Amino acid sequence: MERLRKVFSILVVLSMLSISLAACGGDNNSGGTSGATATGTAGTTGGTTGGEATATTGTGAAGGEATATTSTAVMTDTTPTTAAGGGATDMTPTTGTGASGGTSMTLPSDCTNVELSYWNPFTGPDGPFMGQLTDGFNSANKNIKVTMTTQADYYTQIQTAAASDTLPDVAIIHADQIATWAYRNVLRPIDSAVSSMGLTSGDYPKAVWNAGQVAGKRYSIPLDIHPMTMYYNEDALKDAGITAPPKTRDEFEKAAKAVTDKGKKGFLITAGFPVQQIFSMLLNQYGGSWFNEDGTKVTWNSDSGVKALTWLKDAQSKYSEQNLEVDADLAGFKAGNAGISGTVSGR
């Protein structure tokens, strides 16, 4: 039965994820520090003040690196899953395409019904979308019921549930939290389940895949990555005499200054998220890193770190309003009051 729980817990999440996920952002889930190199093509979003806002991934001063990752993990909950049967029967399921983009599964003959609880921190727009994925999976698998719960104060809730032995079967865990909860014995290794499904490191970017491993064991499967994206207001740039989006540091600074001189803000920077992600990319571009290669020494307090922080502070002073709260940069950009906004894609 324990093996059955492991296999189906992970399969439920993977089946839901077989539906193409929308970009994840705008939620109270911006934590996570694992990154991966991201390449992207230009996209467009709704215009501001009658103009067109264009998104370019990986260009300009704020481009080039993917930031936060989120993973799905199986929790170490001792509450038994509702199921009939058991024993030494082979519990490897057979998968097939189900309705609504989900994946239907054939349970072992001696197993009738499975109930799984699933927690996530998606209190923003991603919550209802994840609910749709869960409903689609449940519809495609009549003998499996997944109950999804969105939690505020997420990690406090997980800690409380761990103390009271009421953890869910499956949960979303940010990449920078996996080791913490694994060492607290809240997460359970899922190597055998992942192996039985044929998932390998080749299915994901290296850094994203490695974030789910702790001390040689796998505790999660990647859900998403958040590439930083530079948005620009085409009308604001043209009004300032800039005819093309900036692609270098000099072009970026010239565009931001020109827009600022015209009475708008050239580049809005908040005092919170995603300023850390922007600093991380600048640190990398200046040749630095957060840690040394084996992760035993902090290395961001370096000449590269000083240069990155100095550029960020200068840009805030020259092109932005001061002490902006989280999301105030997006609000200002959408209102047409800024020429450039650097933020996590999908936010």
What is the predicted pLDDT for the residue at 76? 62
| 102 neighbors 119 (Cβ within 8 angstroms) | no
Any idea which of 64-73, 156-165, 198-207, 283-292 has the lowest mean pLDDT? Answer: 64-73
What is the predicted pLDDT for the residue at 124? 83
The arithmetic mean of pLDDT across residues 188-208, rounded, is 91
Q: Has residue 72 got a pLDDT over 80? A: no
Percent of the chain residues topping a pLDDT of 90: 51
295 — pLDDT class (breaks 50, 70, 90): confident
Residue 176 CA to residue 179 CA, distance in Å, equals 7
- Same fold flag, 2-21+70-225 and 43-66+226-344: yes
| 91 neighbors 4 (Cβ within 8 angstroms) | yes
The arithmetic mean of pLDDT across residues 21-49, rounded, is 31
Q: What DSSP character marks residue 75?
A: B
* CATH superfamily entry for domain 43-66+226-344: Periplasmic binding protein-like II (3.40.190.10)
Q: Domain spanning 2-21+70-225 has what CATH number?
A: 3.40.190.10
What is the predicted pLDDT for the residue at 108? 62
Q: Has residue 311 got a pLDDT over 90? A: yes
Q: Which residue has 């499967």 as its token pair?
A: 221
109 — pLDDT class (breaks 50, 70, 90): low
Question: What is the maximal distance between C-alpha atoms in the chain?
Answer: 74
Instruction: List CB contacts of 260: < 8 A, sequence separation 6 or more.
Output: 266, 318, 319, 339
Task: Output 286 or 59, whichever has higher pLDDT.
Answer: 286
The arithmetic mean of pLDDT across residues 2-15, rounded, is 37
What are the residue ranges of helices labelled H in 144-248?
154-163, 178-183, 191-196, 206-210, 234-239
Q: Has residue 298 got a pLDDT over 90? A: yes
Strand 265-268 and strand 220-233: the pairing is: unpaired
Q: Has residue 51 got a pLDDT over 70? A: no
Does residue 222 have a cis peptide bond before it, meaning omega lies within 30 degrees of 0? no
Indicate the average pLDDT of the chain: 74
What is the predicted pLDDT for the residue at 344? 66
Residue 219 CA to residue 192 CA, distance in Å, equals 11
Please state the pTM of the whole predicted model: 0.58
The arithmetic mean of pLDDT across residues 239-264, rounded, is 96
Residue 291 CA to residue 221 CA, distance in Å, equals 24
What is the predicted pLDDT for the residue at 70? 66
Residue ranges per structural domain of the chain: 2-21+70-225, 43-66+226-344
pLDDT tens digit sequence for 152-187: 999 999 999 999 999 999 999 999 899 999 999 999
pLDDT tens digit sequence for 203-241: 999 988 999 999 999 999 998 888 888 999 999 999 999
CB-side neighbour CA atoms (13 Å) of 223:
28
Q: Has residue 18 got a pLDDT over 60? A: no
What is the predicted pLDDT for the residue at 54? 33
| 217 neighbors 208 (Cβ within 8 angstroms) | no
